[in-house]
Amino acid sequence: MKTLLSYSFSSLATHMHNWLKNVITNDLLLTVTELVIIGVCLLVFLILLAFFLGYMERKVAAFMELRLGPNRVGPKGTLQIVADTVKLLFKEGFTPDAADKFLFNLAPGIIITTALLAVAPIAYAKGFQLWDINIGVLYISSVSSMAVIGILMAGWSSSNKYSLIGAMRCGAQIVSYELSIGLSLISIVVLTGSLSLNDIVESQANGWWIFKGHIPVLISFVIFVVASTAEINRAPFDLVEADQELTGGFNTEYAGMKFAMFLMAEYINLFVVSAVAATIFLGGWMPFHIGGLTGFNHIMDYIPSSIWFFSKTLFIIFIIMQFRWTFPRLRIDQLLNLEWKYLLPISMVNVLLVTLMAIMGWHF
Amino acid sequence: MFLKEYFGSIFSSIKSLLTGMKLTGYYFTHHNKIITEEYPDNRAALKMPERFRGEVIMPHDEKNEHQCTGCQSCELSCPNGSIKIITKQEIQPDGKKKKRIDTWVYHLDMCTMCGMCVEACPTTAILMGNEFEHSQYEKKYLKKVLNKPGSRLKDGVE
Amino acid sequence: MLLGEEDHFNEEGEFVINIGPQHPSTHGVLRLKVWLDGETIKKVEPHLGYIHRSIEKMSESFSYRQFGYITSRMDYLSAHMNNQACALVVEKALQVEVPARAQVIRIILCELSRLSSHLLWFASAGLDLGGVTPFFYAFREREAINSIMEETCGARLTQNFMVPGGIITDLQPDFQKRIKEVLKQFKDNYHEYNEILIGNVIFQNRMKDVGVLTREDAIALGCTGPVARASGLSCDIRKHYPYDGYEKIQFDEVILTGGDSWARCEVRMAEMLQSVHIIEQLIDNIPEGDIVAKTKNVIKLPKGEFYQRVETARGELGVYIVSDGGSTPYRCKYRSPNFSNLMAIPHISKGHKIGDLIAIMATIDLIIPDIDR
Ligand code: SF4
Ligand code: SF4
């Protein structure tokens, strides 16, 4: 059992580092090599993740809709997404005549870059983190709000009226929902006293915030999930795309690989917000502990931390997917009403409550 | 009062959203309710209803005999002109000349499967068949001749 | 070259977009030209003619047995009612009595297609608002109804079952059993429609106070069917001008006074239950007897003008025939419910958002081939 425990990502990384240190003596070269390895690993991981999420979404949708979902390519249809990607690769990367070519082709790159940037500070397992930045929460919320630039760029440069309307909706939507996301994150920052994701996870060793923080944290959690669904433009808040109204919104004119990049960015964003929710509210890689029950806690410790992290993330992803396949879409003014009349005031009052809790020490 | 309304609306909306999620969650976990039919795979078990109108057919018996007298009622009753009957004069064993069909041309591409030709036929020489997999690469394959080569009118049918 | 601000606007400085003819939520080839101010709609102009097949003109070369069948292609969800209207106008002109058995079977099948049409409305209303799942729940029941149509009439949509004088063939033996199964399935699953869509707060907010059609406007624009009944106008042909024995049947005409999209939804949801109610009354009491009245082989209508209206799933369908005594109509005109209902859209969508226009179109429940014919 001891070996299983020690076989974690962190020890793997340390082994790797030591081995490379023996092979490469130059310090700079060593750093560069390591960075490249990490970058490649991360990209491969994210592409696989996007494949998996694409498959998962289609299966979830299918089962909720009394269908079978993909079941032809590969065992149980698992390779369907690969087949689709190949199809998209071979499609013409069409640029409309009237489009601003430079911006039109740049936009997918920007969207995917912002999506990738936000992945950096996430802690995947115990002691396994790409970048242990001490302002992780701030970093994530600021980077993810940059996605609006890419969408605006795509919508404007397409020279399509539908795209333009979609992009303008996006501006209003992301800017407003950014506020509630920030406020709901602040409530945990207040309780922990740190902006570092690692510290936040460590602070949940004796219980996840969602249990420790009582109702105010539960409210923050719900607000965070709702607002981040809007932030990543997923149904019921997918007004930016709004197939039935805007025939695809900002990505109406995109095809082939450029469209695939939008799709991939959507899934990476989905992963990021779920991972952040899991880290901040559900204890990240922290196993489930109940204070006092040492035996139970020990059993929980045997489950590797990465499994804890990914199962929590998948749970949140599932919930966000279920939103999409259950609810109809909001209208643009209702969307803004929801934010400015409901989520924002509630989360403001909530932050006050949480602060009070933190000062009085009403949590455990 | 305002607050009561405000929170009341929040709770009722959350409740309605949760009912919806409960339903989708129920179907997500109950795979026996799936209604998909995997069409090309279930071909063997697929049984079309007897009355299903898929195409016009002309049944021939084991002696290669049909019942079409060439009266052309079907051709007249077809709204789309999908039927063309070419007749010929055939000399009977008793020496008399009689009108018989030469070719019974059926344009499947123009047929709307209304079944009016079958209704009109006085001798039930034609029926609606159950076949529905008609796709072809070229339109010319959809023009069919329904009377088989060498077939003749069944004795006793006038 | 990037289209500058001046290219997005027309000469008058208006932002105009075309919703359709190829658009995911126009259910066909309807084209709505929409003048926008930001997201708000200033003006809507429907452009028709993309699916015009000159059915009325074609009818002039069809015999009286043939001309009805093509109406299945007008409002393809109410094919039975369309065929029935054509059969009824010929019967009226010839003054033949339709056998009681045929009448009852006609009503059962019509109500069944009304049910299935409203189910399709439910499915597509959910779809238009971005909820894909309700579509599949409604189609589960619709599929069962379509199977009955297939077993009984031989086709799923273009049934061509009602002929002048009665119906074309007798029922298949386990018709009653199958209908009861479907009705049971429908009633068991009816609550799911409320849970997944109708009761959903997002759906209700999208529908309430959107696209209000007043009673006066409904009359002025000639709206009929559920659209007009949601505005408080009693216009059910089955009640006011009963045909085929509807006068002997107990059912309520659902009338609401809201006039908004939500009222239209509620009317349709209630009408589904009314249709079930009608079928339940009749299914065990199908009289024995002939299924078709004797008519001449070649039908010739007496000289004159004949008009017959029926209540389809979308409103009042009128068939107007001018006969010169020959075997084909001299002139044939259809008064289609969708055409008049469409004209309500420009009127009621003014001042709403683009999303609302889609919601309004969903609740008006247009069938585009019926508009153009
Ligand atoms: S089924 Fe109808 S369209 Fe087809 S051949 Fe017969 S009468 Fe003509
Ligand atoms: S198929 Fe029937 S109606 Fe047509 S020509 Fe032959 S006998 Fe006459």
Tell me if chain B has a CB within 8 Å of the CB of C196: yes
The pLDDT confidence band at residue A1, using thresholds 50, 70 and 90, is very low
**Three state DSSP letters for chain A:** CHHHHHCCHHHHHHHHHHHHHHHCCCHHHHHHHHHHHHHHHHHHHHHHHHHHHHHHHHHHHHHHCCCCCCCCCCHHHCCHHHHHHHHHHHCCCCCCCCCCHHHHHHHHHHHHHHHHHCCCCCEEECCEECCCCCCHHHHHHHHHCCHHHHHHHHHHHCCCHHHHHHHHHHHHHHHHHHHHHHHHHHHHHHHHCCCCHHHHHHCCCCCCHHHHCHHHHHHHHHHHHHHHHHHCCCCCCCCCCCHHHHCCHHHCCCCHHHHHHHHHHHHHHHHHHHHHHHHHHCCCCCCCCCCCCHHHHHHHHHCCHHHHHHHHHHHHHHHHHHHHCCCCCCCHHHHHHHHHHHHHHHHHHHHHHHHHHHHHCCCC
Nearest ligand 1 atom, CA B107: 5
Joined together, the tokens standing for residue A277 give: 């929710």
pLDDT 10s digits, A192-248: 888 888 888 877 777 777 777 678 888 888 888 888 888 888 878 888 777 777 777
All residues of chain B having their beta carbon less than 8 Å from the beta carbon of residue C150 are 48-49, 51-52
pLDDT 10s digits, C203-213: 888 888 888 88
Ligand 2 and B146: CB distance under 6 A: no
pLDDT 10s digits, A92-146: 877 887 778 888 888 888 888 888 888 888 877 776 777 777 888 888 888 877 8
Q: Are C356 and C300 in contact (CB under 8 A)?
A: no
Query: For residues C221 and A290, which has the higher predicted lDDT (pLDDT)?
Result: C221
Tell me if chain C has a CB within 8 Å of the CB of A341: no
Query: For residues C252 and B94, which has the higher predicted lDDT (pLDDT)?
Result: C252
Alpha carbon distance A43, A339 (integer Å): 34
Q: Residues with Cβ within 6 A of ligand 1? A: B 56, 77-78, 80, 82-83, 111-117
Tell me if chain C has a CB within 8 Å of the CB of A164: yes
pLDDT 10s digits, A298-310: 777 777 777 888 8
Tell me if chain A has a CB within 8 Å of the CB of B11: no
CA-based nearest residue in chain C for residue A329 = C130
Of A66, A68, A322, the CB nearest to B25: A322
Chains that touch C (3 or more CB pairs under 8 A): A, B
- b/e per residue, A113-149, with b = 16+ CB within 10 A? ebbbbbbbbbbbbbbbbeeebeebbbbbbebbbbbbe
Ligand nearest to the CA of B111: 1
All residues of chain B having their beta carbon less than 8 Å from the beta carbon of residue A327 are 17, 20
Tell me if chain A has a CB within 8 Å of the CB of C40: no
Mean pLDDT over B40-56 rounds to: 84
Mean pLDDT over B80-105 rounds to: 81
Cα distances (angstroms) measured from residue B20 to each of A228, B25, C134, C202, C355: 20, 8, 10, 11, 22
Ligand nearest to the CA of B104: 2
pLDDT computed for residue C10 by the predictor = 66
Nearest ligand 2 atom, CA B73: 3
pLDDT above 60: residue C85: yes
Alpha carbon distance C249, C74 (integer Å): 28
Q: Whose CA is nearest to atom 4 of ligand 2?
A: B74
Contact C130/A244, CB-based, under 8 Å? yes
The residue ranges of every structural domain in chain C are 52-372
CA-based nearest residue in chain B for residue C72 = B114
pLDDT computed for residue C30 by the predictor = 84
Ligand nearest to the CA of B69: 2
Nearest ligand 2 atom, CA B72: 5
Second-level CATH architecture of B55-153: 2-Layer Sandwich (3.30)
pLDDT 10s digits, C255-311: 888 888 899 988 999 989 989 989 988 888 888 888 888 887 788 888 888 898 888
Percent of chain A whose pLDDT exceeds 90: 0
The residue ranges of every structural domain in chain B are 2-36, 55-153
Q: Ligand 1 centroid vs C39 CA: distance in angstroms?
A: 50
Second-level CATH architecture of C52-372: Orthogonal Bundle (1.10)
Block residue for tokens 């079930």: C276
Of B24, B25, B34, the CB nearest to A68: B34
Q: What ipTM, to 2 d.p.?
A: 0.83
Q: Which long-range contacts (C-beta less than 8 Å, at least 24 apart) are formed by A308-312? A: A308/A283, A308/A284, A309/A123, A309/A124, A309/A125, A309/A275, A309/A278, A309/A279, A309/A284, A309/A285, A310/A124, A312/A278, A312/A282, A312/A283, A312/A284
Joined together, the tokens standing for residue B121 give: 């036929």
pLDDT 10s digits, A323-349: 888 888 888 888 888 888 888 888 888
How many beta-carbon pairs below 8 A join chains B and C? Answer: 70
| B142 to chain A, closest Cα gap in Å | 31
| B130 to chain A, closest Cα gap in Å | 27
| B35 to chain A, closest Cα gap in Å | 6
pLDDT above 70: residue A2: no
Chains that touch A (3 or more CB pairs under 8 A): B, C
pLDDT computed for residue C8 by the predictor = 60
Contact A161/C17, CB-based, under 8 Å? yes
Ligand 2 and B73: CB distance under 6 A: yes
Chains that touch B (3 or more CB pairs under 8 A): A, C
**Whole-number average pLDDT of chain C:** 85
The pLDDT confidence band at residue C2, using thresholds 50, 70 and 90, is very low
pLDDT above 70: residue A8: no
How many beta-carbon pairs below 8 A join chains A and B? Answer: 36
Contact B114/C192, CB-based, under 8 Å? no
pTM of the model: 0.87
Query: For residues B68 and A298, which has the higher predicted lDDT (pLDDT)?
Result: B68
**Whole-number average pLDDT of chain B:** 84
| Residue C277: partners with Cβ closer than 8 Å, 6 or more residues away | C250, C251
Q: Which range (B47-56, C8-17, C125-134) has the least confidence?
A: C8-17
The pLDDT confidence band at residue C39, using thresholds 50, 70 and 90, is confident
**Whole-number average pLDDT of chain A:** 82
The pLDDT confidence band at residue C7, using thresholds 50, 70 and 90, is low
| A161 to chain C, closest Cα gap in Å | 7
